[in-house]
Amino acid sequence: MDFLSSEVILPILRRAVLECIANAIQDDQVGTTPGEFFRSPAVHSLKQEIVRTGKKLWERQYVDGNGGNISVRISPRWVICTPTMCSKADLTVDDISLVDLESSQICGDRPRTSEILLHLEIYKAIPEAKAVIHCHPPYATAHAIAGVLPPGNLLPEQEVFVGPVALTPYETPGTIEFARTILPVVKNHNTILLENHGVVSWADTVTHAEWLIEVIETYCKTIMIAGQLRSPLKEIPPEKIADLLAIKRKLGLPDARYTDDPEAVEMDVAPHLFKHVSIAGTPSPQEIDQLVDSLASQVLDFFKEAHADRR
């Protein structure tokens, strides 16, 4: 019975439950046309969230001109996204497009963003990713242009929500080569610097992806100011970083440093810290956690009874 514990069973059950939910959603939508789903109330609310987030990015000067793009995975097959050549300050729900995972536009009056391939590569690589934002916040983008990774271990918020920052090599925006530059790092990094370009983040909702952009931008700005006051900067002690990583594990957020621990249980990178539904019709992460806990309890009870009977 030593091999049976909640630490072993919970990750296995959670992955199984998530796969079952995804299959159920896909089966449930077989009779729904893309147009009907695209115009449904649930998707309309996600379009509104995209519009609100776009205006927030513009107001914070994280995008300029027609820059930046936002998307949400609304089902295993379909993604809604912002259009090309549109200021995020002027975005409306009628501007949103629907595409499939091969980047073909299914619905929408305006052409989809030219950088949708980047979003789709993230969705294909990270099943838990439900929203992606690409934008150009100036301090983080300055690091990407300079090819300088911001130093770590300086602010708790950065360590917990983002962690060590990755930098991908430059490729022409809008190309599949550009989109695939994130593949080596995207599973362990929810926020990535794009060399000579900007930043991309993924999360369970558009709102939370935007939070990650705020965190990394504020961090890059803060350390640039702090570096003018003192050098080198005083880091958080290693044992305190370990405390932050323990918090991060419990929140279910990804971090490249987990691989340094050979005893670590395989991480479920779904950011279930955020109790929200982003794919229409799916249960919230909190409800999934409750279901997994219940199933784990039943499985453990079953094996305990079977083990007792053999005695």
Phi and psi for 232 in degrees, rounded to 5? -75, 160
Interaxial angle between packed helices 285-310 and 6-28, expressed in degrees from 0 to 180 and rounded to the nearest 10 = 130
Look at 199-203, 252-256, 274-278 and tell me which has the smallest mean pLDDT.
274-278
Confidence check: pLDDT of 276 > 50: no
Shortest CA distance to 206 belongs to which of 96, 52, 85, 38?
52
**pLDDT at position 259, please?**
62
Residue ranges of the domains in the chain?
6-304
What tens digit of pLDDT does each residue of 179-215 get? 999 999 999 999 999 999 999 999 999 999 999 999 9
What tens digit of pLDDT does each residue of 156-172 get? 999 999 999 999 999 99
Question: Rounded CA gap, 165 and 184, in Å?
Answer: 13
Question: Rounded CA gap, 164 and 229, in Å?
Answer: 23
Q: Is the peptide bond before 151 cis (omega within 30 degrees of 0)?
A: no
Phi and psi for 174 in degrees, rounded to 5? 90, -10
Token representation of residue 174: 């809008």
**pLDDT at position 29, please?**
54
pTM of the model: 0.79
Strand 191-194 to 166-168 pairing: parallel
The dotted CATH code for 6-304 is 3.40.225.10
Question: Rounded CA gap, 106 and 90, in Å?
Answer: 23
